């Protein structure tokens, strides 16, 4: 346990001892989020799967595995990491439009609960490989519900124009086909409509779509053991201290109220960002403060290779100076990284305390899709990680 927290909630002894740039994870906040999830789903036929793509740091995975969640996985590497962290293979769902043969075999070998199938060619290959291995693979179909969640175009997944899932029109035929195959066991339907969703309306529409489909398949005598409504619940990037936890009551409450689950049916969720987003910050040093004719730049030793969200999605994260004195006044800065790309910008026109070379800067709400999307472009090193708090 680190006790000396600064006014922003960071264990400064840990921050000051660690070479920058690095990810700082607040495990107390991670556990508070996990505990709240478990509280919200208690007594309901709900199972939450953690979307490992949001953050596959082994320590983070281990902490989440201990809280009893399942996993949503999108590659053989993620299957291996989840098994190493202690997640139960039976509570694993393997999604993705381009699963390769070795990845499918790895999943079957380890007895994962479900392949989330996104096309007929994939269905055929899973059936064939499972047959060759003398096994039967559990599957769900990923349905593209054609719901626009109004998020950034690169993270919208549930509209008719993108590559994910099977259209509702094609579903009847695909289900009938699956029921004839000897080496797959059709367990349910899956839906994922996008990411960083902060309004409940898209989820309300999703519940209506699912209810309609359940009526349709009841009439055909087809029962699904699992309905998986994907993930996507957003977090507060602008004011993380006001909302350290997402509104889990409103989120789960929407499904409790509106989704008409059948007896013996389980509702699966696949949350990534909502679980790990707020517990992580990217910490860096100010290398230089540079003035040009009309701008002041804070140049950090962290860049887009450590956190690519601003460069890729024009995402904005709250930036804080952890070491400047408030009494020195404030200035407006562009906060940028050292990488040779003009998009390597964390914040434009950001009001901060007067900042100097050597100051420590935190880029907040970076726990999801931060470390997991980091790269070595410009032959930079991958960021390291430290953990504060925890059980
Ligand atoms: N399930 C499926 C099938 C998914 O494709 C995703 C995310 C999730 C669950 C988890 O979504 P979440 O609860 O984390 O929103 N790199 C982007 C986000 C990409 C999300 C991809 N799929 C970003 O940094 O905003």
pLDDT in tens, 92-138: 999 999 999 999 999 999 999 999 999 999 999 999 999 999 999 99
Is 22 in a helix, a strand, or coil? strand
Residue 271: partners with Cβ closer than 8 Å, 6 or more residues away: 37, 48, 49, 50, 51, 231, 232, 233
**Cα(298) to centroid of ligand 1, in Å?**
30
Q: Is 192 in the pocket of ligand 1 (CB under 6 A)?
A: yes
Q: Is 275 left (phi over 0), alpha (psi -120 to 50) or beta?
A: alpha
Q: Give φ, ψ of 378 to 5 degrees.
A: 65, 20
Q: How far is the centre of ligand 1, averaged over its atoms, from the C-alpha of 330 (Å)?
A: 36
Phi-psi region of 390 (alpha: psi -120 to 50; beta: other; left: phi over 0): left
Joined tokens for residue 55: 């953050």
Binding site membership of 270 for ligand 1 (Cβ less than 6 Å): yes
Ligand 1 in reach of 231 Cβ (< 6 A):
yes
φ/ψ of 61, rounded to 5, equals: -60, -40
Positive or negative torsion for Cα 119, 260, 186, 140? positive
Q: What mean pLDDT is predicted for residues 229-258? A: 98
Q: Ligand 1: does its nearest atom lie under 6 Å from the Cβ of 54?
A: yes
273 ligand 1 Cβ < 6 A: yes
- Give the angle 372-323-288 at the CA atoms, nearest 5°: 75
Q: Is the pLDDT of residue 2 over 60?
A: no
Average pLDDT of span 308-322: 97
- Nearest-atom number in ligand 1 for the CA of 273 is 14
Using CA atoms, how far residue 18 sits from 59, 356, 360, 387, in Å, is 17, 19, 11, 11
pLDDT of residue 335: 98
Nearest-angstrom CA–CA distance, 225 and 261: 10
* Cα 147 to middle of ligand 1, angstroms: 16
Choose one of 96, 235, 272, 370 to mutate for the ligand 1 pocket test, by most ligand atoms within 8 angstroms of C-beta: 272
> What percentage of residues in the chain have a pLDDT greater than 90?
91
Q: What is the pLDDT of residue 331?
A: 97
Q: In sequence order, what E strands does 223-271 have?
A: 226-228, 266-271
- Quote the pTM value: 0.96
Determine the pLDDT at residue 153.
61
Yes or no: say if 148 and 158 are a contact pair by the CB < 8 Å rule: yes
pLDDT recorded at residue 75: 98
3-state class (DSSP) for residue 13: helix
Does residue 194 have its Cβ closer than 6 Å to ligand 1? no
71 Rama class: left (phi>0) / alpha (psi -120 to 50) / beta: beta
Give the pLDDT mean for 357-380: 98
Bridge-based pairing of strands 319-321 and 280-291 is: unpaired
CA 32 vs. chain centroid, Å, equals: 17
Q: Would the pLDDT of 389 be above 50? A: yes
The residue contributing the CA closest to ligand 1 atom 14 is 272
Spatial CA neighbour of 67 closest among 84, 80, 49, 94: 49
Among candidates 68, 86, 133, which has minimal Cα distance to 107? 133
pLDDT at site 152? 59
Whether residue 1 is predicted with pLDDT greater than 60 in this model: the reply is no
365 lines ligand 1 (CB under 6 A): no
The pLDDT score that the predictor gives to residue 146 is 85
Average pLDDT over residues 183-207: 97
Q: How far is the CA of 233 from the centre of ligand 1 (A)?
A: 9
Instruction: Give the mutation target among 70, 143, 231 for probing the ligand 1 site: most ligand atoms within 8 A of CB.
Output: 231
Distance 231 CA to ligand 1 centre (A): 7
Task: Name which of 368, 326, 361, 358 is nearest 346 in CA terms.
Answer: 361
> Is residue 165 predicted with pLDDT exceeding 90?
no
pLDDT score for 157: 59
Instruction: Supply the mean pLDDT for the chain.
Output: 95
- State phi, psi for 345 to the nearest 5 degrees: -130, 125
Residue 91 beta carbon below 6 angstroms from any ligand 1 atom: no
The Cα–Cα gap between 168 and 214 comes to 12
Task: Give the integer Cα–Cα distance in Å for 106 and 316.
Answer: 38
95 in contact with ligand 1, CB cutoff 6 A: yes
């Amino acid at each position: 346990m680190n006790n000396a927290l600064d006014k922003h909630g960071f264990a400064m002894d840990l921050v000051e001892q660690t070479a920058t740039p690095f990810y700082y994870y607040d495990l107390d906040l991670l556990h508070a989020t996990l505990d709240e999830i478990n509280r919200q789903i208690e007594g309901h036929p709900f199972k939450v799967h953690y979307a490992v793509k949001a953050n596959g740091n082994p320590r983070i995975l281990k902490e989440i595995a201990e809280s009893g969640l399942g996993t949503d996985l999108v590659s053989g590497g993620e299957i291996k990491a989840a098994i190493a962290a202690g997640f139960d293979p039976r509570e694993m769902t393997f999604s993705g439009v381009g699963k390769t043969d070795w990845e499918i075999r790895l999943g079957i070998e380890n007895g994962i609960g479900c392949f989330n199938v996104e096309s007929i060619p994939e269905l055929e290959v899973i059936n064939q490989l499972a047959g060759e291995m003398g096994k039967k693979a559990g599957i769900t179909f990923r349905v593209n519900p054609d719901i626009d969640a109004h998020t950034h175009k690169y993270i919208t997944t549930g509209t008719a124009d993108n590559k994910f899932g099977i259209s509702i029109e094609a579903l009847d035929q695909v289900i009938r086909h699956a029921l004839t195959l000897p080496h797959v066991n059709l367990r349910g339907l899956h839906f994922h409509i996008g990411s960083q969703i902060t309004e409940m309306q898209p989820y309300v529409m999703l519940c209506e779509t699912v209810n309609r489909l359940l009526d349709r398949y009841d009439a055909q005598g087809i029962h699904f053991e699992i309905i998986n409504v994907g993930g996507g619940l957003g977090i507060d990037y602008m004011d993380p201290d006001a909302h350290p936890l997402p509104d889990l009551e409103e989120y789960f409450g929407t499904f409790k109220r509106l989704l008409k689950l059948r007896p013996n049916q389980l509702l699966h969720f696949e949350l990534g960002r909502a679980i790990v987003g707020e517990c992580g910050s990217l910490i860096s040093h100010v290398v230089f403060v540079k003035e040009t004719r009309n701008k002041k730049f804070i140049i950090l030793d962290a860049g887009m290779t450590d956190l690519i969200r601003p460069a890729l999605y024009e995402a904005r994260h709250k930036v804080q100076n952890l070491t400047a004195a408030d009494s020195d006044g404030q200035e407006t800065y562009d906060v940028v990284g050292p990488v040779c790309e003009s998009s390597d910008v964390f914040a434009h026109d950001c009001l901060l305390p007067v900042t100097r070379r050597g100051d420590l800067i935190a880029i907040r709400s970076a726990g999801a899709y931060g470390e997991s999307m980091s790269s070595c472009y410009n032959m930079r090193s991958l960021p390291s990680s430290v953990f504060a708090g925890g059980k």
